A and B are shown apart, each in its own frame.
Chain A
Amino acid sequence: MSELSALSLSELRAKLADKSVGAVEAVEAALARIETTEPKIKALISVQAEEARARARELDATGPDAALPLWGVPLVVKDVLATKDVPTTCASKMLENFRPVYDATAVAKLKAAGAVLVGKANMDEFAMGSTTENSAFFATRNPWDLSRVPGGSSGGSGASVAACQAFGALGTDTGGSIRLPASFCGIVGLKPTYGRVSRFGMVAFASSLDQIGPMTRTVEDAARLLQVIAGHDDRDSTSVDAPVPDYVAAMRERRDLSGLTLGLPAEYWDEGLAPEVAEACAAAVKKAEELGAKTKRVNLKLSQYAIATYYIIATAEASSNLARFDGVRYGYRAKDVDDLMDLYVRSRSEGFGDEVQRRIILGAYVLSSGYYDAYYRKAAQVRQLLRRDFQVALSECDALLGPVCPTTAFKVGEMTSDPLQMYLMDIFTISTNLAGLPGMSLPVGLGRETGMPVGLQITARPFDEATMLQLAGVLEANLPGIGHPAL
């Protein structure tokens, strides 16, 4: 791998700013790395080579601009985010030929900040899955071990960044879809507070849970991407009009963890963890203590109900959101239909994959007359109680620490036959979405048994991404790095 490709986004930025590297050079490094690694990991659904080269030439013609925080930086975005005139497929046959007429707000902000889009990342179809095997096109492999999954649903983004194809990526997280692939691929993944980032132009899965966030090789890189995409947007009424702090400046304010109290939820630590995950995460907690943090046990008693709650709410919302795919205005349309109803039914049945159909039906069922109170309303009530649990824990602690997932990345094909087994992998990540809190995954080591990356999950108070980034930054600086996968 070229020295240039191995740089972090923040390092590349400095070189672009002092003109020791040009935008074209950065883009060519990304494209060359994509060419050599893509046959192995298959992280990208499409590559925008010519558009990226043309954009880089334009940038080089005018020279670095200090007002553009991502000037010349090649990035990848998950294929669930609308990109103007560039295919946006959601890894579904339904949207195989869809070319949006606008950019998602998060994408528009990256471009306005000078970033260059080089690829659209693979994912589980409509973001439904935890392994990126559930793409209608192909499965993505983990760059650390090609026989293992990268996690999902933002597995293409995770694998791409870990393989140094680009200097950062956007993913989306509805129940762990940024944090799980970040953990499995050994990179940093940050799910912002619900409302921190506009979802305009993100193809909706579960609207009360979805967030867009950065996936990067360092904590500072994540801070820089979050800085650009955060903030209110008139086009998303759930985006909150609250000031966005200077995250990088906040990170620089902290060298140790003195004065911080970190909660360790008993339900996340006490059982069911692979020994190598427990070890790596416990070592990171010990390091946090050495750096001055106080730790204390807390309880999130309702954790055992989180998966049931989540899969009721998420599928209910998905069944409503995905009703828009009717074969009329965009997307797949079945051939030789008899009438309008036949057009709807056959376009949807032929266009959606297996897991998407299963979730639509489950969602329609829990919303249907006679079951609404027992499932959907009940789940919304439990969600309220779950959030209260977090509020209590976070009133005593500045952040919570635990593993992202009970295991490291599993083998390809291991989880595909039993959907319920797959849902259970989300156990530690989904509560964060239900409560609307910010969460991130920080690589803290390689598992003793599998040699695969282990992610520590940090959960913070609403809109307190700054504390989360400070904590992650200090830990990153004081833990041995895991390096890059040998690809």
Chain B
Amino acid sequence: MKISSEEVAKVAGLARLALTPEKTARYAAQLGDILGYMDKLAELDTTGVEPLYTPVDQVSVMRDDVVEKDYAREDILKNAPETDGAFFIVPRIV
């Protein structure tokens, strides 16, 4: 499977990554090799096979909907790059 530099750049954009042209070309070659290797799965007939997305059976575990306050606001904000002491600050949106 070949993947073009344009496709790599497009998918990178969807993942909120910006690549230099050099890196885009390098990734395109490497991802082409990796996807080529992955294409061997097409050899297998998986008609009617239920996909396995997780190895545990208990996927949705219910619990009571109770509010718990585990952490203080100031502690949570300590790791933020920018705050006003009460909120996370980001560049102006509107």
B44 contacts A305, CB within 8 Å? Answer: yes
Which chain B residues (26-61) contact chain A, with CB distance < 8 Å? Answer: 27, 30-31, 33-35, 37-38, 40-42, 44, 46, 49-56, 58-61
B31 contacts A365, CB within 8 Å? Answer: yes
Q: State whether A381 and B49 are in contact (beta carbons under 8 Å apart), knowing that A240-B56, A328-B90, A420-B37 are contacts in the complex.
A: yes
Which chain A residues (99-133) contact chain B, with CB distance < 8 Å? Answer: 99, 101-102
Report Cα–Cα, A30/B60, bound state, in Å: 43
Instruction: Choose one: A208, A331, A352; the contact of B54 (CB below 8 Å).
Output: A208
Which chain A residues (286-303) contact chain B, with CB distance < 8 Å? Answer: 302
Q: Is the interface of B mostly helix, strand, loop or mixed?
A: loop
Is there a chain B Cβ closer than 8 Å to A375's Cβ? yes
Report Cα–Cα, A339/B16, bound state, in Å: 13
A361 contacts B34, CB within 8 Å? Answer: no
CB A403 to nearest CB in B, in angstroms, measures 22
A383 contacts B52, CB within 8 Å? Answer: yes
Report Cα–Cα, A337/B34, bound state, in Å: 34
Q: Considering only CB atoms, which chain B residue lies closest to A330 in the complex?
A: B79
Instruction: Choose one: A102, A309, A337, A346; the contact of B70 (CB below 8 Å).
Output: A102
Q: State whether A319 and B51 are in contact (beta carbons under 8 Å apart), knowing that A101-B75, A374-B42 are contacts in the complex.
A: no
Chain B residues, CB < 8 A from A345: 16-18
Chain B residues, CB < 8 A from A308: 37-38, 40-41
CB A20 to nearest CB in B, in angstroms, measures 41
A380 contacts B52, CB within 8 Å? Answer: yes
Report Cα–Cα, A71/B54, bound state, in Å: 36
Is there a chain B Cβ closer than 8 Å to A195's Cβ? yes
Q: Considering only CB atoms, which chain A residue lies closest to B77 in the complex?
A: A329
Report Cα–Cα, A208/B79, bound state, in Å: 28
Report Cα–Cα, A343/B89, bound state, in Å: 12
Is there a chain A Cβ closer than 8 Å to B21's Cβ? no
Encoded as 1 (CB less than 8 Å from any B CB) or 0, chain A from 356 to 373 comes to 011011111110100000
Q: State whether A362 and B41 are in contact (beta carbons under 8 Å apart), knowing that A240-B58, A345-B17, A385-B49 are contacts in the complex.
A: no
B41 contacts A361, CB within 8 Å? Answer: no
Report Cα–Cα, A276/B26, bound state, in Å: 36
A380 contacts B41, CB within 8 Å? Answer: no
CB A75 to nearest CB in B, in angstroms, measures 25
Chain A residues, CB < 8 A from B70: 102
Q: State whether A329 and B49 are in contact (beta carbons under 8 Å apart), knowing that A101-B71, A348-B16, A368-B11 are contacts in the complex.
A: no
B46 contacts A333, CB within 8 Å? Answer: no
CB A182 to nearest CB in B, in angstroms, measures 22
Q: Chain A: interface residue count, which band? A: 35 or more
Which chain B residues (64-94) contact chain A, with CB distance < 8 Å? Answer: 70-71, 75-76, 78-82, 88, 90-93
Number of interface residues of B (CB under 8 A): 51
Q: State whether A364 and B80 are in contact (beta carbons under 8 Å apart), knowing that A208-B53, A357-B17, A384-B51 are contacts in the complex.
A: no
B30 contacts A436, CB within 8 Å? Answer: no
A364 contacts B15, CB within 8 Å? Answer: yes
CB A13 to nearest CB in B, in angstroms, measures 32
B90 contacts A343, CB within 8 Å? Answer: yes
Is there a chain B Cβ closer than 8 Å to A63's Cβ? no
Is there a chain B Cβ closer than 8 Å to A461's Cβ? no
Report Cα–Cα, A360/B16, bound state, in Å: 10
A349 contacts B91, CB within 8 Å? Answer: no
Among B38, B44, B70, B79: residue with most chain A CB under 10 A? B38
Instruction: Choose one: B16, B27, B63, B79; the contact of A98 (CB below 8 Å).
Output: B79
Is there a chain B Cβ closer than 8 Å to A382's Cβ? yes
Chain A residues, CB < 8 A from B38: 308, 311-312, 366, 375, 379
Among A102, A307, A361: residue with most chain B CB under 10 A? A361
Q: Considering only CB atoms, which chain A residue lies closest to B34 in the complex?
A: A420
CB A441 to nearest CB in B, in angstroms, measures 20
Instruction: Choose one: B14, B46, B76; the contact of A101 (CB below 8 Å).
Output: B76
Report Cα–Cα, A471/B63, bound state, in Å: 38
B79 contacts A378, CB within 8 Å? Answer: no
A208 contacts B55, CB within 8 Å? Answer: yes
Q: State whether A349 and B17 are in contact (beta carbons under 8 Å apart), knowing that A237-B61, A240-B56 are contacts in the complex.
A: yes
What 5 pairs across the A-B complex have the smallest Cβ distances?
A: A436-B55, A380-B51, A333-B81, A330-B79, A381-B46
User: 8 A-B contacts, Cβ less than 8 Å apart?
Assistant: A237-B59, A305-B40, A330-B81, A339-B92, A374-B42, A375-B41, A381-B52, A384-B51
- Chain A interface residues toward B at CB < 8 A: 97-99, 101-102, 194-195, 208, 234, 237-238, 240, 302, 304-305, 307-309, 311-312, 319, 323, 326-333, 337-346, 348-349, 352, 357-358, 360-366, 368, 374-375, 377-385, 387, 418-420, 423, 434-436, 462
